[in-house]
Amino acid sequence: MSLDLFITGTDTAVGKTWVTLGIMAALQTSGASAIGMKPVASGCRSTGAGFRNEDAERLLHQSSVPAPYDLVNPFAFAPAIAPHIAAAEIGRDISLAKIASCYRALTGLADHCVVEGVGGWLVPLTATETVADLARHLGLPVILVVGIRLGCLNHALLSVAGIRHGGNRLLGWVANHTEPDMARSEENILTLETRIDAPLLATIPWLSEPSVADFAGRLTIIERIFSQQRR
């Protein structure tokens, strides 16, 4: 049985993909196999094989085993806009059942499947469903990536409240500096530590040229958490 995670963020462009890659690499370093999934992606490029998303391709490249692209990213849209709008423009529905089917296929390939959400916690996927509904549908514990920048306190606390309200398990959160010179960043992180009833798993400094190794080296606690769950 695989032990899996759902990665969400306080916003778009807060480092969800880097954290997902780092968690996968940390698990792989510990001797486990891992595979990544990005069920829904916007801003994809057209290829002869269909639309392809750069972040999804990174997850596929980092995965311990090969997998069909369409399992890793079953819903890919060209415009870099909210996915429910992109889907409506081409008359396509995003199906949580379809995503769950792809997820189940991936879980049989590796010890861990790390699923990256799109945008933030309440980004709409359909007329009635959001990223929160997707995480609940898959039944996965959640890691919240907090982009450390002006406004992060409100964004993070609202996201945590939403995760708790929906009954999802918040496994922990990651503080990722998305700007090089945010004033009082340490004080902001301390404020969040005192108000979020879940552990701070890692603090990632501002990285002008981030790498998977940068994130993996700071996310080794993930393997210890999974080791405890295996017992």
Residue appearing with tokens 């940068």: 214
**177 known ligand binder:** yes
Task: Report the C-alpha gap between 76 and 177 in whole angstroms.
Answer: 28
The pair of structure tokens assigned to 63 is 């995965």
Sign of CA dihedral 132, 69, 56, 173: positive
**176 known ligand binder:** yes
**173 known ligand binder:** no
Sign of CA dihedral 128, 129, 130, 132: positive
Which amino acid belongs to residue 197?
D
**205 known ligand binder:** yes
Task: Report the C-alpha gap between 76 and 186 in whole angstroms.
Answer: 37
Give burial (CB, 10 Å; 0-12/13-18/19+) of 145: buried
Q: Is 38 a catalytic residue?
A: yes
* CB 44, CB 37: distance < 8 Å: no
The pair of structure tokens assigned to 118 is 């799109």
The pair of structure tokens assigned to 159 is 């996201």
**207 known ligand binder:** yes
**61 known ligand binder:** no
**55 known ligand binder:** yes
Contacts of 34 (CB under 8 A, 6+ apart): 23, 24, 27, 28, 62, 63, 64, 110, 111, 112, 113, 114
**Catalytic pick among 5, 15, 22, 38:** 38
**178 known ligand binder:** no
Residues flagged as binding site for substrate: 42
Residues flagged as binding site for ATP: 55, 116-119, 176-177, 205-207
- What residues act catalytically? 38
Residues flagged as binding site: 17, 42, 55, 116-119, 176-177, 205-207
Residues flagged as binding site for Mg(2+): 17, 55, 116
